[in-house]
Structure 1
Amino acid sequence: MFTRWGDIAYRWRRVVPVIVVAVIALLYLLVGTKLGDRMSSEGWDDPHSESTRAAQIEQDVFGRDASGDVILLVTRDNPDTDLSSEEVRTDFTRQLNAISSSHPDQVRQTLSYFDGQQAQLITDDGSAAFASVSLQGVEDEVLKNYREIEDALHSIEVPGATVEVAGATAVSGALDTGMSDDIARAEVIGLPAVALLLILVFGSVVAACMPLLVGVLSILGSMGVLSLLADITMVNTFAQSVVTLLGLGLAIDYGLFMVSRYREELAEGRDVRTAVRNTTASAGKTVVFSALMVAVALSSLLLFPQAFLKSVAYGAISAVGLAALLSVIVLPSVFALLGRNIDKWTLFHRGRTKEDTVNSWWGRVPAFAMRHAKVLTVGLVGVLLLLTVPLGGVKFGGINETFLPPDDTTRVAQNNFDENFPELRTDPVKLVIRQDDGASAVGQVYQQANAVEGLTGQFQVSQPTKDGVTVLSAGIADRDDNDRIVN
């Protein structure tokens, strides 16, 4: 089959690349450019877990808890600043009300110390106070609404004080922005760096461009595939990072197989047609079966209930599949077009034939390994075991500000808020109580729950009884103690 395709690729060498590039371009332009609007920032939780079911009950009865969406933390810069002064309260309230009135579709309500002067919204020493902004919508709508007012929130100023933006939605927004920036950096920095590395490997500019061609096409094509999937199922934004990393990495890997084998065939004296056929039959088969094995391994992620893990599988499998297909379909035709020009613009010569390769450094390394097989096996296994030692300190948890860099402004703001107002932190533990026999059960749960040590304060009624459902909430003082307290 692969030999036959090599002949077809050579025969239709002027047609195949044009058709494939046109299909990828149309797929990207028609649907791939819409990927950002179709992807979701949700899908981190197991939809069948107890906590998710409890959150759904709370939302069905009381609506989404939006109290911790956005926090505007105001901290005085020096003791002379009085946050409770009428001047400060009036100025801050004016700015916040202006945002609320100009964005009624985004802002549900606000709760501010500077408006109502509630004692729990300011620290005992008066050094910090805050306002909370509840947003309209559910799931992805919340983040989109936050984006509409994000710049306005960051523009709020208080003379003699620092205004920081924190809250659950602000953290989600910072994570989303961080991933988008990482992807941009990978594309802007990664591609030129890889191109330079490929030139060093091949010694030829034209040969180095072959893997890059496959990499770019596979990324664009995978974005189109993900966009189509996002139109029918949830695809987390994390998938786009996977597409960039795997699409570029594996395309270069597979491109290296194909280009190296093709140049080797030419160096052995084969004509272009035979070289294309042999390359496709040998390296092409390796690429396809390698991609199949990787795809099968990645498909195990589809067994997990979390949508973001499924999204990783969607992105990875599409990137791997396209990288392999493009390497086997496009590159043989491009080789046929280039012929011996694959070595055009050669900067320095590398060994080409099998004999040259065997006698090179690359051939001497495995020869050395085979002569010292036992020692190297034991040594390398020992090194690999040592590399697993850091796993002993790994900490698992949900999505929160700790996923952001330590100096990220949103993470710093959230840490400052939690430190100043530990009992009002935006990620409390909640008890959702559903009962049929009045308030007695709530009282029993309340007493037992408050006997647990490690809370920032006593459980409080955050949602009074409605339709037989009551919600109690409290903060956990130390995240490392989550498991014990929840259990």
Structure 2
Amino acid sequence: MLLRIADFIHRRARAVLLLSLLAVIAMGALGFGAFGKLQGGGFDDPDSPSSRATAVIGEKFGGNDNLVLLVEAESGKLDAPAAKAAGQKLTDGLKEEPGVSRVTSYWAPGGSDLTSRDGTQALVLAHIDEDDAAAVTDKWTGDRGAVSVRAGGAAALNEEITSQVSKDLAVAEAIAVPLILILLVVAFGSVVAALLPLAIGLIAILGTFAELYLLGSVTDVSVFAINLTTALGLGLGIDYGLLLVSRFRERLAAGDETADALRVTVRTAGRTILFSAATVMAALGALLLFPPFFLRTFAYAGIGVVAISALAALIVVPALLAVLGHRVNKGRLPWAEAVRKPDAPLWGRLAGAVMRRPALTALPVLAVLLLAASPLLGASFGIPDERVLPAEAESRQVSTAVQHDFAGNDAGSVPIVTEGRAAPDEVSAYAAKISGLEGVVRVQAATGTYTDGRAVKAPGAAHAGLVEDGVNRLTVTSDLTPASGEAQELVRDIRATEGPGGTGTLVGGKDAELIDSKSAIGDNLPAAIGWVLGSTFILLFLFTGSVVQPLRALVLNGVSISASIGAMVWIFQDGHLSSLLGFTAMPMDTSMTVLMFCIVFGLSMDYEVFVTSRIKELHDAGADDHLAVTGGLSRTGRIVTMAAGLLAVSFFAFTTSSVSFIQMFGLGSGLAILIDAVAVRGVLVPAAMRLLGRSAWYAPGPLRRLHDKAGLSEAGEGEPLDVPDHQEARKTPAAAGEREKAPAGR
């Protein structure tokens, strides 16, 4: 099939390019509309108890308070006439805003509890549609004469994070794209050749934006998909472009005509790209198993960008190569001859040195990686809150003030709704019991306010509207730090308490969402890991014909990924480098850690396929294990390290972000890619291949026969072995004969 594609593209190259250009223009026009379809948030399980509580509160009571306006009197006195008038104007004006369904204020009846301990600050709480949050906060915050107003709460926090990520993405791209282009020119030694990987990246990014526009029209799609699309699009464009262009130039240098060079390139490098894309998509497909749409979005974007990158690599780039021919080397730089050589002797010599003393060279590398992974033993996980923003962010300042300056965190209160009818005395007894739990400051119910297990205030204006159609709503205010172990334990205690009159209850709020989010991911994590490992094993078996090679790849990739995530725990959870990167230490973001695992695993397998393809090509042609490994790394070492270095630049650019989980994702992914390219491919793979010996290619008889029918080999018929010049040729009749006598699967 690949040969037919190559022949067709060579005959119709200009027509293919014209159609591709029209498709890119259409995708670009459609894709720019994606930005208006994307949403913030998405970290919650929509079927969890906390999400169901939110739905009931929205239907019956106008929604949870997700907008917190912190009002500070300029004179220091909230009840001064000017401050009082400004506060009342703010309260009344907010009620008239579109998208605002309920307002609770210090300047409204029953709002006396919404004041700070020193009496200089007050709260105005509201529920607002998040689409309207930016307009409302812009209108009502800032200097309001006698008072100053700052916005916080979930709606303002999501808006601020989304806005900041958009700005940070522009900065990251402004840094990464020019730097990558310069490095590509340096790597290829030719301006024309350097532009081809960027063509793949551009097509992949625009195509995925168009996909996100269509998906965003029918389902929830996270705004953070933009980050993955740009980073992965550029990265895969570089990976696939390097592989194709290097192979094409290699065949031209060997004396092939353009048509023949294109056939070999598409048949060999194209097959590698197909397997590589399949492994990356399989890893990203695991994200579909998780309920939060934040993670499912990355599956949509990731699978899309990989598929489009592969199509661009197999159709558009071959067409460009067919038109360019030897002109692919135009715009040569002084060092062009050195980088155009097909092999990199340094990598071959390194592999040879490792294979001579595999244990001596591999054990120190393994020790360092395991040491880097050790912080994972003390990892804790959470969901994003205001601490992901810098200390000067307004929504974070509001959250800090509410936690420290007010008696009880009204903005972070725990809402409870009953699932059945209950008599007033039953509701009263239940509220009194909840008010006696550790850390509870007060409980408000339709029957009054409760503290320390007893009623302290009769029903009044503050309690109006807390029962609708027989459904009771209670609000639990605590003095516990949000997202702390104590706050989560309080939610568990409330859930363990029998509801009024034996009715069921639903508990919501940020701490309940945190518990439910970790549960949703934790419950599905074994299935996701099983999917990643199983699908990768099958694909690598089909690629290599061995059951040992997939196991070797999975073990080594697991070590490198554990090291990179462990390093992120050491940095972002334990707080090392916080002053340098400007973040606040906090538990690892559960969703982002899972995302990083899937992406890094897929990219690691990307490089695994690149290297193994050349090793297998030489092995299948009759080379012994030593020559197959050293020759394979000699031919792929430069490609893998260049691709990894360029992709790492793309990810490292995210460390310029002001949002800590974006920093963690960028730094962790970039570090994992470099560890994989250098430590794993350069040292651990040759060591493992030497220790495994002939058994590295083993497969039981039935699976060997299955592979003969269903598998795909890298080398095509009639293609020369093409052993690197610096290697001692070991492809001999005797070696080939030994191969025939190898264990099953050889």
With structure 1 as the length reference, what TM-score do the two structures score? 0.89
C-alpha distance after superposition, 1:238-262 (max 9, x if no partner): 2222211211111211111111111
Alpha-carbon distance in 1 for matches of 2:90, 2:431 = 39
- Checking the alignment, whether the CA contact within 8 Å between 1:92 and 1:158 is kept in structure 2 is no
The Cα offsets for residues 56-83 of structure 1, whole Å up to 9 and x where unpaired, read as: 2333332322xx3322213457xx6433
Residue 337 of structure 1: aligned partner: 323
CA gap 1:106/1:467 in 2 versus in 1, 3 angstroms? closer
Partner of 1:138: none
Query: Given that residues 117 and 406 in structure 2 are in contact (C-alpha distance below 8 angstroms), is that contact kept between their aligned partners in structure 1?
Result: no
Q: Which residue of 1 aligns with 2:192?
A: 206
Give me the whole-angstrom Cα distance separating, in 1, the residues matched to 2:50 and 2:86: 41
Q: Quick one: distance in 2 between partners of 1:264 and 1:158?
A: 72
RMSD: 2.5
2:40 maps to 1:59? no
**Per-residue deviation at 1:111?**
4.0
SS of residue matched to 1:459: strand
The secondary structure found in structure 2 opposite 1:47 is: coil
Offset, 1:100: 5.9
Of residues 445-454 and 314-323 in structure 1, the stretch that sits farther from structure 2 once superposed is 445-454
Match in the other structure for 2:106: 113
1:234 to 220, 236, 257: 220
The one-letter amino acid of 1:486's match is V
Query: 1:291 offset after TM fit, Å?
Result: 0.4
Match in the other structure for 1:150: 137
**Matched position secondary structure for 1:15:** helix
1:12-91 equivalences under 5 Å are 12-29=12-29, 31-65=30-64, 68-75=65-72, 81-91=76-86
Q: Residues 156 and 70 (structure 1 numbering): CA distance in 2 closer, same or farther, change over 3 Å? A: farther
Tell me if 1:410 matches 2:395. yes
In structure 2, what is the Cα distance between the partners aligned to 1:417 and 1:331?
57
Shift in Å, 1:192: 0.9
Return the letter of the residue paired with 2:218: I
User: CA–CA distance in 2 between the matches of 1:36 and 1:294?
Assistant: 25
Q: 1: CA distance between counterparts of 2:293 and 2:234?
A: 24
Q: Could you say which residue in structure 2 is the equivalent of 1:377? A: 362
* SS of 2:124 mapped into structure 1: strand
Q: Greater relative contact order (Cα 8 A, min sep 6): structure 1 or 2? A: 1
- Following superposition of structure 1 onto structure 2, how do residues 340-351 of structure 1 map, counting pairs within 5 Å? 340-347=326-333, 348-349=335-336, 350-351=338-339
Structure-2 change in CA distance of 1:480 and 1:117 (3 Å): closer
In 2: Cα distance, 1:62 partner to 1:287 partner: 54
Instruction: Give the whole-Å Cα distance in 2 for the aligned partners of 1:365 and 1:25.
Output: 46
Distance in 1 of aligned mates of 2:267 and 2:435: 70
Structure 2 distance, partners of 1:257, 1:43, is 37
Residue ranges of structure 1 left out of the alignment (5+ in a row): 136-141
Aligned with residue 348 of structure 2, among 345, 358, 363: 363
What is the 5 A alignment of 1:70-469? 70-75=67-72, 81-94=76-89, 104-108=97-101, 110-113=103-106, 118-135=111-128, 142-158=129-145, 162-347=148-333, 348-349=335-336, 350-354=338-342, 357-359=343-345, 361-455=346-440, 457-461=441-445, 464-469=466-471
Separation in 1 of the partners of 2:242 and 2:102?
57
CA distance change for structure 1 residues 391 and 440 in 2, over 3 Å: closer, same or farther?
farther
1:299: Cα distance to partner? 0.9
CA gap of 1:35–1:17, structure 2 versus 1, over 3 A, is: same
- Structure 1 pair 390/412, CA: closer, same or farther in 2 (3 Å)? farther
Q: Say which SS state the counterpart of residue 311 (structure 2) adopts.
A: helix
SS at match of 1:382: helix
Aligned AA (2:491)? V
Q: Deviations over 1:256-295 (max 9, x none)?
A: 1111111111121211111111111111111111001111
**CA distance 1:73–1:293, shift in 2 (3 Å):** same
Deviations 1:65-106 (Å, cap 9, x if unpaired)? 2xx3322213457xx6433211233245446656765xx424
TM-score (norm 2): 0.59
Distance 1:370 1:165 in 2: 62
How far apart, in 1, do the equivalents of 2:269 and 2:99 lie? 55
- Distance in 1, matches of 2:73 and 2:355, equals 68
Deviation at 1:32, TM superposition (A): 1.3
Give me the whole-angstrom Cα distance separating, in 1, the residues matched to 2:470 and 2:108.
Answer: 33
**1:212 positional shift:** 0.9
CA distance, structure 2, for counterparts of residue 114 and residue 61 of structure 1 = 24
Distance 1:402 1:394, change over 3 A: farther
3-state DSSP of counterpart to 1:375: helix
Single out whichever of 327-336 and 415-424 deviates more from structure 2: 415-424
Q: Secondary structure at the match of 2:113?
A: helix
Q: Name the CA distance, whole Å, in 2 between partners of 1:469 and 1:399.
A: 31
- 8 Å contact from structure 1 (residues 239, 311) kept in 2: yes
Secondary structure in 2 matching 1:44: coil
SS, match of residue 132 in structure 1: strand
More displaced 10-residue stretch of structure 1: 475-484 or 11-20: 475-484
Q: Alpha-carbon deviation of 1:194?
A: 1.1
2-structure distance, mates of 1:129, 1:3: 73
Closer, same or farther in 2 for the Cα pair 1:368/1:21, shift >3 Å?
farther
SS of the equivalent of 1:471 reads strand
One-letter amino acid matched to 1:474: V
Q: What is the CA deviation profile of residues 114-140 of structure 1, one whole-angstrom value per residue up to 9, with x for unaligned ones?
A: 5769432222322322323443xxxxx
Change (3 A) 1:209 1:96: farther
**2-side partners of 1:98 and 1:454: how far apart?**
35
- The residue type paired with residue 267 of structure 2 is A
**Number of equivalent positions:** 469
State the identity %: 31
Say whether the 8 Å CA contact 1:268–1:353 is kept in structure 2: no
With over 3 angstroms needed to count, the CA separation of the structure-2 counterparts of 1:55 and 1:70, relative to structure 1, is: closer
Distance in 2 of aligned mates of 1:21 and 1:96: 55
Structure 1 residues 475, 382: CA separation in 2 closer, same or farther (over 3 Å shift)?
farther
Q: Specify the SS of the correspondent of 1:225.
A: helix
Query: Following TM superposition, by how much is the alpha carbon of 1:190 offset from its aligned partner in structure 2, in angstroms?
Result: 1.7
Report the CA distance shift for 1:310/1:442 in structure 2 as closer, same or farther (over 3 A): same
**1:332 CA drift (Å):** 0.7
Aligned to 2:6: 6
CA contact (8 A) 2:77 2:119 kept: yes
Amino acid at match of 1:485: L
Structure 2 residue aligned with 1:139: none
Q: Which residue of 2 aligns with 1:485?
A: 490
1:368-398, CA deviations, whole angstroms, 9 ceiling, x for partnerless residues?
3323322333222222222223334444334
Q: What is the letter of the counterpart of residue 187 of structure 1?
A: E
Q: Where in structure 2 are there 5+ consecutive unaligned residues? A: 446-462, 493-746
> Is the alpha carbon distance of 1:72 and 1:233 closer, same or farther for their aligned partners in structure 2, counting shifts above 3 Å?
closer
